[in-house]
């Protein structure tokens, strides 16, 4: 039986200019940096989890979930790189 989170978690991955807050509309030029760092995190976690709970087999995400357009772009890139499904929740879509 799995705990309440069933293995899901949120991690914040820093990217973009240091010591400067950027509004979400200004994040687009930094998407590739975020995707690279997120892929690195997934690879590190897969290796660490394989040693602890995977019996030596990689423990891979079952899906990648993104919100808003910039995260949707990141999610699509990560989904393709990891060959896992993506889920997208759109917000503020306007009319």
Confirm whether 10 is domain-assigned: no
**How confident is the model over 44-68, as pLDDT tens digits?**
988 888 887 878 888 888 899 998 8
Round to whole Å and give the CA distance between 25 and 30.
11
Q: Which helix (H) or strand (E) holds 88?
A: strand 86-89
Confirm whether 68 is domain-assigned: yes
Confirm whether 81 is domain-assigned: yes
Confirm whether 22 is domain-assigned: no
0.85 exceeded by pTM: no
Confirm whether 77 is domain-assigned: yes
Number of domains in the chain: 1
Beta bridge partners of 89: 67
Confirm whether 5 is domain-assigned: no
User: Domain of 70?
Assistant: 28-89
């Amino acid at each position: 039986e799995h705990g309440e989170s069933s293995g899901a978690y949120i991690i914040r991955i820093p990217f973009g200019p240091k010591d400067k807050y950027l509004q979400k509309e200004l994040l687009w030029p930094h998407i590739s940096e975020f995707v690279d760092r997120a892929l690195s995190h997934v690879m590190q976690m897969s290796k660490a989890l394989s040693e602890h709970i995977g019996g030596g087999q990689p423990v891979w995400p079952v899906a990648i979930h993104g919100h808003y357009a910039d995260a949707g772009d990141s999610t699509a890139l990560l989904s393709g790189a990891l060959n896992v499904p993506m889920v997208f929740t759109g917000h503020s879509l306007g009319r």
